[in-house]
Amino acid sequence: MICVRKIREAFPIYKNHPQLVYLDSAASALKLNKVKESINYYYDNLNTNVYRGDYDLGYQTTTLFEATREEVAQFINADKQEIVFTKGTTEGINLVANHFSSILKEGDEIIISELEHHTNFIPWQIVAKKTKATIKYVKLTKEGRITVANFLAVLSDKTKIVALNYVSNVMGYLTPLREIIMLAHEKKARVLIDAAQAAPHFKLDVKALKVDYLAFSSHKMFGPTGVGILYLNEQTHQETIPFEYGGEMVLKVDKESAIFKDAPYKFEAGTPPIEGVIAFKEAIKFFNKIDYSSIREHTKMLHEYTLKKLKELKEVKVYNPHNEIGLITFNIDGVHPHDAMTIFAKNKVYLRAGQHCAEPITKFLGEMATLRASFHIYNDFNDCDKLVASIKETIAFFKQFRGEKK
């Protein structure tokens, strides 16, 4: 059982904003004190670049930086050289898409879905335009889920890359990946998984999944912004071309050509976000201490509690009552989500309004925009109550505004 009061002590924002009702962790999670301390430690004590400085502070920086690679590798059951530091899920996916933009040809097929975040959508549209490859969409169920059967219906000998979310950022659904990956591999297609929303709620195991590429972001896991992980399995190391070129990713350069280092370094050109990478280790350690089943138990409890209260409000429509991370995506009858947000924000109840960088799924729901409340370990029943109270206030305000009876 999670003790929220104790958990909140680890997140400094609650000291400065004791009234904060933060229900937007799916956009970016709150940051740990230990993460902040680690960043400060770097600036106060190390302040040097990685790999370059032939002096003690330079060595210490490189050692700490590489220790995060080791920590992340253990965390997701990968080998150290399979971990590439990026600036986030977006950069990781663009790196992979860039590679496919140089190898796909007319007639090849890319499988994605309408459930994808724009990050795993637009890059593939660009790849398809550039290479004349075709995008195939996994048909979603009425509820909006990806199923193995619907995936099989679009899989073919022409499929070269399958790029799907592990957990949807709008619906909170878990994609049945193990079977999908196995089936894709039977067709010799590569698989990329967008794990941005999965990593904060599910233990990732890349060996069990047998996935080729997997991307996630530190900032959704209580870590710093500007840091992400791209996992590439050893087989894809050789074939995948770098996304960026520059310092520290080369072994040898002359006027005619350059020889790149082996992975992961060939994918890490230029100076990385050193302090962020070092501090991300603290976030991983935190996840190692709190096991994922207690995170899910906690968010499920808050989810069920809130849903029960929302069911009593006929003006509220919830689009995803059953999902695996406890997201509540909803609308209030006759109220635009951004208008509702002005009332929520006045009450310091922070959630997300809009299309959540996933326009296709919002359209699939038949909406222009929605509201999304997302829970994590620092939320409690009081947060749920304040959300429900703000929804009631919004309903009452707009009824009065329209001259309707309360």
Ligand X SMILES: Cc1ncc(COP(=O)(O)O)c(C=O)c1O
Binding positions for ligand X, rule: CB under 6 A: 27, 88-90, 117, 119-120, 165, 169, 194, 196-197, 217, 219, 357
- Looking at the Cβ atoms of 166 and 378, the one nearer to ligand X is 166
Q: CA-to-CA distance for 102 and 207, rounded, in angstroms?
A: 27
Task: Name every residue whose Cβ is closer than 8 Å to that of residue 100 and which is 6 or more positions away in sequence.
Answer: 110, 127, 131, 160, 161
Neighbours of 248 (CB within 10 A): 16
Nearest to 199 by CA among 260, 286, 267, 105: 286
Closest approach of ligand X to the CB of residue 117, in Å:
4
- Looking at the Cβ atoms of 4 and 122, the one nearer to ligand X is 122
Q: Which amino acid is at 45?
A: N
- Looking at the Cβ atoms of 166 and 398, the one nearer to ligand X is 166
- Looking at the Cβ atoms of 226 and 242, the one nearer to ligand X is 226
Closest approach of ligand X to the CB of residue 205, in Å:
19
Closest approach of ligand X to the CB of residue 120, in Å:
6
Closest approach of ligand X to the CB of residue 54, in Å:
34
Closest approach of ligand X to the CB of residue 140, in Å:
15
- Looking at the Cβ atoms of 26 and 73, the one nearer to ligand X is 26
Return the ∠ at Cα 301 (arms to 215 and 396), rounded to 5°.
Answer: 100
Closest approach of ligand X to the CB of residue 111, in Å:
17
Catalytic-role residue among 357, 365, 369, 396: 357
- Looking at the Cβ atoms of 330 and 398, the one nearer to ligand X is 330
- Looking at the Cβ atoms of 61 and 355, the one nearer to ligand X is 355
Nearest to 205 by CA among 76, 22, 331, 112: 76
Closest approach of ligand X to the CB of residue 303, in Å:
18
Q: Is 357 a catalytic residue?
A: yes
The catalytic site residues sit at: 357
